[in-house]
Amino acid sequence: MRALLSGNEAFARGAYEASVRFATGYPGTPSTEILETLAAGGDVETHWAVNEKTALDIGMGVSLSGKRALVTMKHVGLNVASDTFMVLPYAGCLGGLVILSADDPGMHSSQNEQDNRYYARFAKVPLLEPVDPQEAKDFVRTAFEISERFETPVLLRSTTRISHAKGVVKLGEPVPGPDRTYTTDIPRFLVPPFARRRRPTVEERLARLRGYSETFPMNRVEEGDPSVGVIASGVAYQYAREILPEATFLRLGMSFPFPAELARSFCRRFETVTVIEEGEPFVEEQLRILGITNIRGKDTVPLMGELNPEILAEAILGEAPPAGFETEIPIPPRPPLFCLGCPHRAVFYVLKTLMKQDVVALGDIGCYTLGGLPPYSSMQTSFCMGASVGNAVGFWEGNREDGGKKAVGIIGDGTFLHGGIPGLIDMVYRGSGTTLVICDNSTTGMTGQQENAASGRAIGGEAAPRIDLARLVEAIGVTDVRTVDPYDVKRLRRTLVSAIRNPGPSVVIARHPCLRIPGEREKIRPPIAFEAEACNLCKLCHELGCPAITWRDGEGPEIDALQCVGCEMCTAVCHPDALHPAEVAP
Amino acid sequence: MSATASAGTRATAVNVLMAGVGGQGVLLASEVLALAALEAGLEAKQSEVHGVAQRGGSVVSHVRFGPRVHSPLIRAGGVDVLYAMERLEALRYAHTVRPGGAVVMNDHAIHPVAMPGAAATAYPEDVPGFLSGRGYRVSAVPALATAVELGDKRVANVILLGVLSTLLPLEEGAWTAALAGRFPERFRDLNARAFAAGRRLAESPPPPTPL
């Protein structure tokens, strides 16, 4: 049977066919849909973990129980899980353990470009890189077989154009995994006291994996023009096939451990071999370590950003891509915006007004990163998951003696659970005069409204125990905890001002559910009515940056009734009361 | 158009770039096209991006089909047909269409939100005329207005698929099967009417420039 599947759907199908016992991970573009697809299928137990490290710890626990586990995350998620990831090869796994990391070259929805193939070399675990959805599916099972045969975790690496590109996949049937039984083996699994004894195991395994890589069927030569040699992996292989269709290819499905002899004999056949890989010179470096010099790689193929056929055509064939028409006709951009009725809008609108009072908002990772862009520009930093809390504590330390700027941390509910809690403990333990605003929209919004531990729902939507954020924060020791609905903009402002004045630690939970959560959209209210005679043309409603409000000079706002969701944030900022909820319109 | 040669006999893939604004159903439409190619026994690939990239409002999806497809992305300059649900988005991607290629567009404007304090960039005038002047074969049709006549503005994307279908080497049966497979049963009749309306729009209105 054939089906049109995205890479992520294919990974999920592969997990189903590999009879994975448990799949867990943390949402992150471009990896999110793998677990969602598995959850929707209902054949594999799935769980959104609180972060990537707990996900990998859970995955290792499943492996210790003798069963197969899949752990999914985006590239930066592996940084969070790296503490676990780096030590696992010492113990090795019992049941198959596959870590699926999806890189985001070009940073469509990420804070950095990070080529996670290096993690395979760093931790000394095997690395598989599929080139299309068919291989995405097939490699999951292969990865489990390698994992069990060599007793090692396997890194299965995807990228945006593997995960989010659909292609035709031949489906298979589930094959049971070789369940094993846990037996006490303290010298193996109690790593620190026995680490020295286990250290050679890592190298011995790696040597055996090197041999395996030489004959791995998806490390293979595809014959073509005997004068043009190309080495490629991942989606870059597909682009290379378009640009150099006649070439002879060495296609690497397993680029670590590196198939040295295969590569050496391939390179001997050509005057020059072109190495085409997206991201860092991972393959190229391994060739150079082998003393192979008749190659061209990152001196030709761009290091930064995503590759695509036209970039490769320019780099290799010198053919420039067609130019856009911007110089001939206006092509205005569509900058990213908060959605209609997004509760974050009010938070950044209010923070902007507080910037005049030396309030500096140190932010985090989520939809609310848009609060740092016009028209708000009121969230001034964002680095990585959970950083806002520690950043605010430290910024306060640096400013408190001279009574300078006031530090406010901004974090979402999912991000707070993921990486913000230890920072809040620091805030309390240090007695920091910092305010943390938790923008609680009751979902993991940016990746597409995934459930989290504070949403009261498990993956798939069924009811689950709900972590009460206010009680959690109180339990940590914050005595000044206030919860406010950001739609009530005036009260939100009063609450924030009062919390910031508090010389000790304070937390404001700005809670309103994301309108994209299924069911929330149905609660939208009638469009806001505008009373032109009352308008003083102050433009404050326009400053909200609401997509449903268009400003007309000299006339005031125009409310697009088709778009307006009746959130009433604009009525709260309108001093002359020219904007009203529809039911009380004059 | 030239793409009407059977896709199975073409050495290279047929390339359709599909663009619009978030909420217009561009991704769904691109999935239907890829499924129609699959129904026709061909290989198909489709590529899009998710995450904060989706908050930008501008949506683009690449669809390629034929006997063998490698890259999930169309090489800029190699687009056979641009399917655009909005005028400005047609303009944004039109330069990726090959010389002499076609543009089918919903003749509808969605103005970008003007940021407070920022100088508003004018919305371009007469996009179909501009693109015709650059040598593309342009069909600008009232897909949204036709959808409203049919009673559901959400089917504008299916209407434009009907227009697109007249330019592609896929049998009507493949489209019917793809639409039926992708949507719940209760939308089957509405989608069939929308698709047929699109095919009629492709026949009846004078394209702004002769082919």
pLDDT for A372: 95
CB spacing of B116 vs A551 below 8 angstroms:
yes
Which chain B residue's Cα is nearest to A30? Answer: B50
Lowest mean pLDDT among A57-66, A516-525, B157-166: A516-525
- B4 Cα to chain A: minimum distance (Å): 22
Determine what percent of chain A is predicted with pLDDT higher than 90. 92
Say how far apart CA A423 and CA A153 lie, in whole Å: 30
Identify the sign of the CA torsion A211, A213, A216, A222.
negative
Would you mind telling me the total number of residues written for chain A in this entry?
586
Q: Which of residues 113-152 of B touch A (CB under 8 A)?
A: 113-118, 120-124, 130, 134
Mean pLDDT of the A354-358 span: 92
Say which of B34, B72, B88 has its CB closest to residue A238. Answer: B72
Q: Which of residues 69-88 of B touch A (CB under 8 A)?
A: 69-78, 88
Residue of A334, A376, A444 to mutate for B, most B C-beta atoms under 10 A: A334
pLDDT for B54: 60
Cβ contacts of A323 on chain B, cutoff 8 Å: 95
Q: Using an 8 Å Cβ cutoff, are A94 and A67 in contact?
A: no
Helices and strands (DSSP H and E) totals, chain A:
22, 22
Per-residue H/E/C for B54-118: HHHCEEEEEEEEECCCCCCCCCCCCEEEEEECCHHHHHHHHHHEEEEEEEEEECCCCCCCCCCCC
Q: Please determine, for residue A314, whether its predicted confidence score (pLDDT) is greater than 50.
A: yes
Q: Please determine, for residue A267, whether its predicted confidence score (pLDDT) is greater than 70.
A: yes
Cβ contacts of A166 on chain B, cutoff 8 Å: 31, 34, 44-47, 72
Model-wide pTM > 0.90: yes
CB spacing of B123 vs A329 below 8 angstroms:
no
Q: Please determine, for residue A423, whether its predicted confidence score (pLDDT) is greater than 80.
A: yes
Cβ contacts of A105 on chain B, cutoff 8 Å: none
Q: Which of residues 430-449 of A touch B (CB under 8 A)?
A: 446-448
Cβ contacts of B70 on chain A, cutoff 8 Å: 238-239, 241-242
CB spacing of B71 vs A309 below 8 angstroms:
yes
- B24 Cα to chain A: minimum distance (Å): 13
Task: Please name each of the domains of chain A with its CATH number.
Answer: 2-215 (3.40.50.970), 219-317 (3.40.50.920), 344-520 (3.40.50.970), 524-584 (3.30.70.20)
A30 Cβ under 8 Å from any chain B Cβ: yes
Identify the sign of the CA torsion A131, A134, A140, A141.
negative
Say which of B44, B55, B72 has its CB closest to residue A337. Answer: B55
Q: Which of residues 162-181 of B touch A (CB under 8 A)?
A: none
pLDDT for A118: 98
Q: What is the mean pLDDT of chain A?
A: 96
CB spacing of A551 vs B70 below 8 angstroms:
no
Mean pLDDT of the A547-576 span: 92
Say which of A164, A239, A321 has its CB closest to residue B77. Answer: A321
Say how far apart CA A15 and CA A22 lie, in whole Å: 9
Give residue A585's pLDDT band: very low, low, confident or very high (50, 70, 90): very low
B46 Cβ under 8 Å from any chain A Cβ: yes
Q: Please determine, for residue A161, whether its predicted confidence score (pLDDT) is greater than 90.
A: yes
CB spacing of A166 vs B31 below 8 angstroms:
yes
Average pLDDT, consecutive stretches of 10 residues, N- to C-terminus, chain B (211 residues): 47 92 92 96 90 70 96 97 97 96 96 75 92 96 96 96 97 96 93 97 63 36
Structure tokens at B47: 């590529």
At A392, which helix (H) or strand (E)?
helix A387-399
- B101 Cα to chain A: minimum distance (Å): 14
Identify the sign of the CA torsion B105, B107, B113, B118.
positive
Reported as a single tens digit per residue, the pLDDT across B62-81 is 999 999 999 999 999 999 99
CB spacing of A2 vs B76 below 8 angstroms:
no
Give residue A449's pLDDT band: very low, low, confident or very high (50, 70, 90): very high
- B53 Cα to chain A: minimum distance (Å): 6
Reported as a single tens digit per residue, the pLDDT across A372-417 is 998 999 999 999 999 999 999 999 999 988 777 899 999 999 999 9
Cβ contacts of B43 on chain A, cutoff 8 Å: 167-168
Who has greater pLDDT, B10 or A197?
A197
pLDDT for A504: 95
- Tell me A327's DSSP state: T
- Interface contacts A/B by beta carbons within 8 Å: 172
Give residue A95's pLDDT band: very low, low, confident or very high (50, 70, 90): very high
Q: Which of residues 183-242 of A touch B (CB under 8 A)?
A: 235, 238-239, 241-242
- A303 Cα to chain B: minimum distance (Å): 19
Q: What is the dihedral of CA A273, A274, A276, A277, to 10 degrees?
A: 60
Q: Please determine, for residue A295, whether its predicted confidence score (pLDDT) is greater than 90.
A: yes
- Tell me B3's DSSP state: G
Q: Please determine, for residue A179, whether its predicted confidence score (pLDDT) is greater than 90.
A: no
Cβ contacts of B134 on chain A, cutoff 8 Å: 325
Which chain A residue's Cα is nearest to B20? Answer: A334
CB spacing of A335 vs B49 below 8 angstroms:
no
pLDDT for A421: 98
pLDDT for A346: 97
Cβ contacts of B117 on chain A, cutoff 8 Å: 374-375
Radius of gyration of chain B (CA): 16
* Neighbour tally for B183: CB within 10 Å: 16
Say which of A30, A242, A328 has its CB closest to residue B50. Answer: A30
B12 Cβ under 8 Å from any chain A Cβ: no
Angle between helices B172-182 and B188-203 (to 10 degrees): 140
Task: Please name each of the domains of chain B with its CATH number.
Answer: 16-109+126-203 (3.40.920.10)
- Residue B111 is which amino acid? H
Burial class (CB in 10 A: 0-12, 13-18, 19+), A323: exposed
The residue among A93, A86, A101 whose CA lies nearest residue A153 is A93
A83 Cβ under 8 Å from any chain B Cβ: no
- A24 Cα to chain B: minimum distance (Å): 20
Which chain B residue's Cα is nearest to A27? Answer: B51
The dihedrals phi and psi of A225, each to the nearest 5 degrees, come to -55, 120
Please report the ipTM that was assigned to this predicted complex.
0.93
Cβ contacts of B72 on chain A, cutoff 8 Å: 132, 161, 165-167, 235, 238
pLDDT for A152: 98
Give residue A97's pLDDT band: very low, low, confident or very high (50, 70, 90): very high
Query: Can you tell me whether residue A439 is helix, strand or coil?
Result: strand
Say how far apart CA A116 and CA B2 lie, in whole Å: 43
Task: Report the Cα–Cα distance between both ends of chain B, in Å, rounded.
Answer: 9
